[in-house]
Amino acid sequence: MKRVASIVSACALALLAVGFGPPTRDLLHTELKESTPARDTTITSALDQVILVFSGAVEPKLSSIRWLGPAGDTISLDVSTPPDQPHILVGSAPPAANGPQALDWRTVSVDGHQVSGTIPFTADIPALAASDTAAPDSAPLAQAGGEAPSGPDRSGSPETRATVPSTARLAVGGLGMLCLLGFAGLLWFGMGTTILDEPRSHRLTSILGMGATILLALDAVLWLAQVRLPGADLSTTLSAVLDTRSGLVVAAQVTLTVFAFLVFTGTHAVRFGALLAMLAVVAGALGGHQASIVPLVSLPANGLHLGAAAVWTGGILLLGIWPARTAPGVDVGWTFPRIAVRVSSAALLASATILVTGIVQDVLYLPSIGSLFSSTYGNLLLAKTGGFLALVGFGAYNRFRLIPAMSAAADSHADAIPLRRSVRLELLIVVVVVLVAVALAQVPPPLE
């Protein structure tokens, strides 16, 4: 309990630190704030360049701006970022042509999320011959009168579309993270013990390690396909991705998972494998929303959050597969009641850590309590919180009711049945909570 109190106190200090640096939620899922040309305006002179100003830093190597001409032609513009201004994209000058036209842009924010949008505008340049004005092949773009701005239009309303990952990618990413959490958690319980010498636990750890390796690698490939620039080949995209923060985070997580799996299955070095697997879990905390907002608080909080989730998941899996009676010829020195007590103690510490670090992140990401009920992000967070509270309820029931009854019974095998049923239900909830958490990481938190 003293260790729990220490962690709670440390996280409370982190909460106080937030007060000294108010979070800027605009950085979450970067949005286009200003542009030249502005949306739905008419320009009367040729553009020297295109300027897009975002709410947060973007990755220029994963950005594109395409000019959609009046006659339906499309040209990709060269894109760059001014020195020391990572939140601005500058595109080369588009061709001068009269008529309704548009700029179609895509970029990736530093949290790894892709955003895009279209800026329709009209050109009415007297210097151009009337014959240069052509009607578009498609329906006319929306247009409105007005003078061309001399700089970014601060009164415009640019449109930003967040790219929502496919259901397949959410499923692959969710199951991959679930496997990684279970793999790391089982290795954590195996450190300094003979727990993973038991055939069932060893087999499950190997299966989860392989599953995490395959699924996380597949999720990385799906993300690459999503952020791939129009016309760019795979090698060019991969080179650009590895030069970004999000790309390095994804690569680090996959690489650490692969090495953890190879170390465990090849050498059975449980301690080293556990270290690599936990580093893979924590690596996932270096990207996403927490990379964009008060990172000195959000990154450690999310790292602790995921690490504790790994321990809790590993403990539930361990209880779910540990034999109530040791098989003949197999003696690892761990009985089912002893495993149950160890898992319950670890789950208590993990649940306290998850609770406090979850509160820290909620304070950072939510502008108000009301946004819990008025936004998709808030609704998913409520679902995740409900699953967490259900797991806490199961854990308390197991710790104070089922485990003491089993330990006091003459036949621990028979009295282990209620605990096993409870653990199976817990495992189902864990699967749902992890899938919801993965979806939550892809949804922009509300700004108001």
> What is the predicted pLDDT for the residue at 293?
66
Residue 143's DSSP bridge partners are none
Name the residue with higher pLDDT: 271 or 297.
271
Name the residue with higher pLDDT: 395 or 405.
395
The count of C-alpha atoms lying within 13 angstroms of the C-alpha of 145, restricted to the half-sphere facing its C-beta, is: 0
Q: Are 103 and 69 in contact (CB under 8 A)?
A: no
Rounded (10°) angle between helices 417-440 and 295-321: 150
Residues 6+ apart with CB under 8 A from 161: 115, 116, 117
The count of C-alpha atoms lying within 13 angstroms of the C-alpha of 300, restricted to the half-sphere facing its C-beta, is: 13
Bond from prior residue into 328 cis (ω within 30 degrees of 0):
no
DSSP-assigned states of every residue in 313-371: HHHHHHHHHS-SSPPTT---S--HHHHHHHHHHHHHHHHHHHHHHHHHHHHHH-S-TTH
Q: State how far the Cα of 357 lies from the Cα of 118, in Å rounded to an integer.
A: 38
Residue 241: which H helix or E strand, with range? helix 234-241
Three-state secondary structure call for residue 288: helix
Q: State how far the Cα of 1 lies from the Cα of 60, in Å rounded to an integer.
A: 49
Tokens (6 digits) for 168: 């397949």
Chain centroid offset of residue 3 CA? 29
> What is the predicted pLDDT for the residue at 83?
87
Residue 418 CB-density burial (10 A; 0-12 exposed, 13-18 middle, 19+ buried): middle
What are the pLDDT digits (tens) for 3-25? 444 443 444 333 333 333 344 44
What are the pLDDT digits (tens) for 325-335? 655 555 567 88
Name the residue with higher pLDDT: 26 or 71.
71
Flag whether pLDDT at 414 surpasses 50: yes
Q: Are 52 and 32 in contact (CB under 8 A)?
A: yes
Q: State how far the Cα of 158 lies from the Cα of 304, in Å rounded to an integer.
A: 37
Tokens (6 digits) for 173: 């990413």
Kindly state the average pLDDT of the residues 404-424.
Answer: 72
Q: State how far the Cα of 12 lies from the Cα of 279, in Å rounded to an integer.
A: 24
Name the residue with higher pLDDT: 263 or 339.
263
Mean residue pLDDT of the chain comes to 80
Share of the chain above pLDDT 90, in %: 37
Flag whether pLDDT at 199 surpasses 50: yes
Please identify, in words, the CATH class of the domain defined by 31-159.
mainly beta
- The domain limits of the chain are 2-22+165-440, 31-159
Closest CA to 323 of 398, 401, 412, 400: 412
pLDDT band at 37 (very low <50, low <70, confident <90, very high): very high
Residue 35: which H helix or E strand, with range? strand 32-36
pTM: 0.79
Owner of token pair 């929502």: 164
For 219, list phi and psi in degrees, rounded to 5. Answer: -65, -40
Three-state secondary structure call for residue 66: strand
Kindly state the average pLDDT of the residues 383-408.
Answer: 87
Q: State how far the Cα of 76 lies from the Cα of 91, in Å rounded to an integer.
A: 9
Name the residue with higher pLDDT: 280 or 155.
280
pLDDT band at 57 (very low <50, low <70, confident <90, very high): confident
| Beta strands 161-162 and 114-123, pairing class | antiparallel
Q: State how far the Cα of 149 lies from the Cα of 38, in Å rounded to an integer.
A: 7
> What is the predicted pLDDT for the residue at 164?
67
What are the pLDDT digits (tens) for 127-145? 775 544 444 444 433 333 3
Residue 214: which H helix or E strand, with range? helix 199-227
Number of H helices, E strands in the chain: 13, 10
Q: Are 41 and 149 in contact (CB under 8 A)?
A: yes
Q: What angle do CA 293, 220, 114 make, to 5 degrees?
A: 45
Residue 420 CB-density burial (10 A; 0-12 exposed, 13-18 middle, 19+ buried): middle
Q: State how far the Cα of 403 lies from the Cα of 10, in Å rounded to an integer.
A: 30
Q: State how far the Cα of 434 lies from the Cα of 412, in Å rounded to an integer.
A: 32
Q: State how far the Cα of 354 lies from the Cα of 304, in Å rounded to an integer.
A: 8
Q: State how far the Cα of 317 lies from the Cα of 7, in Å rounded to an integer.
A: 25
Tokens (6 digits) for 415: 């009295």
Residue 399 CB-density burial (10 A; 0-12 exposed, 13-18 middle, 19+ buried): middle
